[in-house]
Amino acid sequence: MSSKTVETLPEATVLFAGDSGDGMQLTGTQFTLATAHAMNDLATLPDFPAEIRAPVGTTYGVSGFQLHFGSVDIRTPGDEVDLLVSMNPAALVVNLDRVKAGGTILVNSNSFGKKDLSLANLDSNPLEDGSLDRFRVIQVELTRLTRETLKDTDLNQKQIDRSKNMFALGLALWLYSRPIEPAQRWLETKFARKPEIRDANLELLKKGFHFGETTEQFVTRYEVTPATLPPGRYRAVQGVQALAMGIVAAADKSGLPITYGSYPITPASDVLHALSRYKNHGIMTIQAEDEIAAVGMAIGASFGGALGITGTSGPGIALKGEAMGLAHIMELPLVIVNVQRGGPSTGLPTKTEQSDLMQALFGRNGDAPMPVIAASTPGDCFEVAYEACRIAVKYMTPVILLSDGYLANGSAPWLIPDPDSLNDFEVTFAEKANATEDGEDVFHPYIRDEKTLARPWAKPGTPNMEHRIGGLEKADGTGNVSYDAKNHEKMTRLRAEKVERVQQEMKPLEIFGDEDADLLIIGWGSTRGAIEAGVTRALNAGHKAAAVHIRWVHPLPADLGEVLSRYSTYLVPELNNGQLVRILRDEFLLPFEAMKKIQGRPFGPSEIANKIAEMVG
Amino acid sequence: MSDNDSNKPEGRKPTLPPGMGQPSGKKPTLPPGTGKPAGRKPTLPPGAAKPAARKPAMPPGMKPPGGAPPPGMPSGDGASGLTRADFSSDQDVRWCPGCGDYAILATVQRLMPELGVPRENLVFISGIGCSSRFPYYMNTYGMHSIHGRAPTIATGIKASRPDLDVWMITGDGDSLSIGGNHIIHIMRRNVDLQIIMFNNQIYGLTKGQYSPTSEVGKVTKSTPFGSIDHPFNPIALVLGADSAFAARTMDRDPKHMKTILKQAHEFKGTGFVEVYQNCNIFNDGAFFDFTEKATKSDRAIFFEHGKPLTYAGGTKGLRLNGFHLENIDLESGDWGVDDCLVYDETSRELATILARVYWREDLPQPFGVFYREDRPTYDAQVNDQVQSVIKRSGKGSLEDLLAEGDTWVVG
């Protein structure tokens, strides 16, 4: 049917960029869905401004969605962009430096008027002044073609113009030989009650697809064959979705009701949105009046025998600090989710960063350590959420779960897990006296389990187990208020030792890359994909390197010291000003080199590969 | 100077703030005891020869044999078969001798057996401050949490465990200052629990700074030249936050306190009870006008739903004149009981008018249930919603959820 040449690519990176009102996130999401259907491996990077509707046409109102897909192993949203779809000059200006030399730029040529150029602070038209000579530029009259297509509908001009992203989507789907059906099905469901809008969008999608076929601007069409992923059933999943499902899995496997208290904050609100739909899975959600109330409600629920969870981002953690200390000293299970964003203060609300690690480790008054677990991929958020819940209950401790904006909003294919494969999650409530006092059987809430050092969890409603807990230091065993000096030291050490014992839950560390290398890269959290892709490139270029990824940032894995002893140089890449690197230096007194990126964006594999080349090349 | 010396309160009453002697009718910001000669000392030494001396809730070493109710008090044997002693924990009560907190603790311990609630279903949640040590002294489940946050913890436990009988203990600083945000939100949500707010108009545990209910002009360690903060009127505050049940009582009238607490407990929703509580160390006599024999009858009015507003042994009353309450003399022959306002605790308008009778020279301070509104509780609704979703969509299956949406098979 096609007269075009088809070129097969191992991988490609596409970036949709436009005004925040242009529907770029939606376009990107639909392209992702089609790519998942094409069975490619993929990774995405939605990148949008903090303003909901920034002034039209400005550079600070540009919203982007980057997608990297391939038949090969895809670990990051891509270093350099092969195709930039730019809806206006501002989107072009903001994203031009991400397009690889020789890459393709598809622009809406109707949006390069004088006013559009001036809004993007351009003195001349880049379509005419030669500044795009390095690229292949395809000018499409998106606005005119959209208006033409919909001229016979009853939609008004604004509605028509807002639909042009569907034309662009159709065209991009054609260009990379993606199936059009998933987007069609989505539109049919989404606008089932608005037939006019539905039909207009379906028409544009199709027109865009056909336009690629007929226009002479494209001589080549690309295809990316399915990736060789491990066998099984897959779906595309975003980090927030996976995290929410991990919490559901914890409720399901433990039989514990879960109370999720949260105050809306970017980029953690989507966890609340997702969980609020899962009421029939035993999840109660409460939108609290503030961050402190959100954690307080979770603590109250845990005291009552449910599992309390609270979710937020860095600024919210700052507010919850005192309550987290309370949960620590009371020794109640609690999970605190931090979907990190650029800081400090309000910082960069919609951009990603790993700069709350120190806050997670030390951000409370007193000695109040708690286990800290970090997710490394969107799909990993599922397992990490489940483990955080399990450890919180098993060790009767608050657990901090670190995700970030990149993981939360990013998508990846996900091998749907078998619930039976998850770790056992048994819960035992104390129902009987555990001590004698003056010849009477009594319950002492701070007598510990030998293996985990966890205290018993007796829930209100259980006869003869009445007890009081609180923020004051308590006497070992009885839990009565105690100001005794030696007791305080003992209790502080016991609580810390209990957290250390979470080490016994960890699997041995795995080394990625060349085990015989001199250089070991130590990463944590969402940098895993970039680090491992970077190591792969380095190895292909003949540079020896290995990488180890830390899931539990506190306590550190018991075998980390032994692993480190096998190498002689160390690199610690982080999206912050050097946090894990300080912990490692303190713990192991080895010459760790920091690699810092603080731009609100994830590492690209080439940055890692270049750094490796610099160190070992 | 020893620690104890430094803990001593200022030896004098605050000088009267500007604005004293305003025309009556306008809500003045007057310190307690205004209208009396300035500097007048309370006539009654706290804790002396008064009911307080018989209370078992006593400092260590003063514990009388548990259980015996004082004369005039109903025996502790309630529907639960428990007695007052069953509700005393084994911990020494560490409040200052003579503190009004003892009377509140004793009253609550005395009330518990009458409620018919199994002891294991009772939960006391507090914040920080003198009052918030309360849960340690109750032999029930309890939590002494962090400053101002008790409403959030109480909401969390009641929402997830609606079967429990939750009581929240707080003070004027805990609930109206650091916890101000949470107190208004628990009111609007109408979580089914009881809040006992000990109002002593001072910060006790931090050794005597003015509180958000302290009168203007209050001289304290942090305000050596007098406080300039306008005080909150707690009942008016919670009514403004759409409280569904708001009442006031006092430490020196345990009988009234018990009646009010019982009503708060019977109420389905947030039963807010403000208790005037004497801090004999840092704010001694703050409420003596209303609580002590010599002046109580004239300066306090104990009102009840469906009854006319009379006081001073029935010799005086309050009538509604437009939107204002005014004092009428029932002995002069000009007015009768029929002229007095018959109180309706379900009227938001009357509650608003009566709540604003606050430290008035011309009117007595009201004690009783200001407002009661039956409306759905938060805990019931949040659980109903869960149940209705389960009813509609069935109990969720984890496997189905994981495989939701578009999926594809590899291999």
Q: What is the pLDDT of residues B90-111, one digit of tens each?
A: 999 999 999 999 999 999 999 9
Q: Is B60 on the interface with A (CB under 8 A)?
A: no
Residues in chain B: 411
Chain A contact set for B161 (CB, 8 A): 301, 304-306, 459-461
- Looking at residue B384, its amino acid is D
Pairing of strands A220-223, A5-8: parallel
Tell whether omega for the bond before A267 is within 30 degrees of 0, i.e. cis. yes
| pLDDT more than 90, % of chain A | 94
Residues of B whose CB is below 8 A from A282: 396
- Residue B62 is predicted with a pLDDT of 55
Q: What is the rounded distance in angstroms from the CA atom of residue A573 to the CA atom of residue A219? A: 42
Render A430-452 in DSSP notation, one character per residue: --S--EEETTEEE--TBPPPTTT
Those residues whose C-beta lies under 8 Å from the C-beta of residue B59, and which sit 6 or more positions away, are B92, B93, B94, B95, B97
pLDDT of A487 over the 60 cut? yes
Nearest to B341 by CA among B365, B320, B371, B369: B320
Tell me: pLDDT of A155 over 60.
Answer: yes
B47 or A579: whose pLDDT is higher? A579
Tokens standing for B17? 């703030």
- Residue B29 pLDDT > 50, yes or no? no
Partner-chain contact B152 A280, CB within 8 Å? no
Q: Is B129 among the domain residues?
A: yes
Secondary structure E strands in A471-527? 511-513, 519-524
Domain count across chain B: 1
pLDDT tens, residue by residue, B311-355? 999 999 999 999 999 999 999 999 999 999 999 999 999 999 999
C-alpha B45/C-alpha B32 separation (Å) is 17
**For residues A434 and A444, is the Cβ–Cβ distance under 8 A?**
yes
Question: Phi, psi (5° rounding) for residue B294?
Answer: -60, -35
What is the three-class DSSP state of A248? helix
Cα dihedral B272/B277/B281/B284 (nearest 10): 130
**Contacts A306 to B, Cβ<8 Å:** 160-161
Listed in order, strand segments (DSSP E) in B265-375 are 270-276, 300-302, 310-311, 316-321, 324-329, 365-372
Q: How many CB atoms lie within 10 A of CB B80?
A: 18
In a domain, B326, yes or no: no
Q: How far A461 CA lies from chain B's nearest CA (Å)? A: 5
Q: Which residues contact B118 (CB under 8 A, 6 or more apart)?
A: A463, B80
- Pair A460, A469: CB distance under 8 Å: no
Residues of chain A with CATH 3.40.50.920: 511-616
CATH number of A235-421: 3.40.50.970
Domain with CATH 3.40.50.970 in chain A: 235-421
Sheet of strand A232-238: strand arrangement: A411-415, A232-238, B407-410
Query: Residue B35's pLDDT band (boundaries 50, 70, 90)?
Result: very low
Contact (CB<8Å) B152/A288: yes
pLDDT band at A52 (very low <50, low <70, confident <90, very high): confident
pLDDT band at A220 (very low <50, low <70, confident <90, very high): confident
Tokens of A459: 């829930």
Q: Which of residues 451-470 of A touch B (CB under 8 A)?
A: 459-470
Architecture category of domain A511-616 in CATH: 3-Layer(aba) Sandwich (3.40)
Does a structural domain hold residue B303? no
Per DSSP bridges, beta strands A372-374 and A334-340 are: unpaired
DSSP string of A68-89, one letter each residue: EEESS---SS-SSEEEEEESSH
The pLDDT score that the predictor gives to residue A3 is: 67
Closest CA to B132 of A167, A152, A481, A534: A481
Chain centroid offset of residue A576 CA: 16
B146 touches chain A (CB under 8 A): yes
- The DSSP call for residue B14 is P
Minimum distance, in Å, between the CA of residue A232 and any CA atom of chain B: 5
Residue of B95, B152, B163, B191 for testing the chain A interface, max A β-carbons within 10 Å: B152
Q: Tell whether the model's pLDDT for residue B20 goes beyond 70.
A: no
Lowest-confidence region among A154-168, A392-406, B298-312: A154-168
Main-chain phi, psi angles of B398, to 5 degrees: -60, -45
Q: What is the DSSP letter of A253?
A: H
User: Chain B residue with minimal CA distance to A183?
Assistant: B406
Q: Percent of chain A having pLDDT more than 70?
A: 100
The alpha helices in B209-338, defined as continuous H runs, are 234-240, 254-266, 288-291, 293-299
For residue B112, pLDDT beyond 70:
yes
Q: Specify the DSSP element, H or E, that contains B246.
A: strand B245-250
In a domain, B366, yes or no: no
pLDDT confidence of residue A4:
81
- Whether cis (ω within 30° of 0) applies to the bond prior to A555 is yes
Q: Are B108 and B277 in contact (CB under 8 A)?
A: no
Which residues belong to CATH 3.40.920.10 in chain A?
Answer: 5-223
Query: Cβ contacts (< 8 Å) between B393 and chain A: which residues?
Result: 280
Across the interface, whether the CB atoms of B161 and A461 are under 8 A apart is answered: yes
pLDDT digits (tens, 9 = 90+) for B149-201: 999 999 999 999 999 999 999 999 999 999 999 999 999 999 999 999 999 99
Half-sphere exposure of A181 (CA within 13 A, CB side): 5
| Residue A483 structure tokens | 């100001």
**Confidence class of residue A53 from pLDDT cuts 50, 70 and 90?**
confident
pLDDT at B234: 98
Specify the pairing of strand B122-126 against strand A592-596. unpaired
Digit-coded pLDDT (tens) for A370-387: 999 999 999 999 999 999
How many Å apart are CA A392 and CA A499, to the nearest integer?
Answer: 10
Structural fold of domain A5-223: Pyruvate-ferredoxin Oxidoreductase; domain 3 (3.40.920)
Whether residue B164 lies inside any domain: the answer is yes
Distance from CA of A404 to the nearest CA of B (A): 22
CA distance B86 to chain A (A): 11
Average pLDDT over all residues of chain A:
96
- Averaged over B8-22, what is the pLDDT? 42
For residues A148 and A1, the model is more confident at A148
Range of the domain at B73: 54-286
Q: Report ipTM (2 d.p.).
A: 0.91
CATH of the domain at B160: 3.40.50.970
- Check pLDDT > 70 for residue A612: yes
Per-residue pLDDT at B80: 64
Q: Is the dihedral of CA B205, B209, B211, B215 positive or negative?
A: positive
Residue A495 CA to residue A488 CA, distance in Å, equals 11
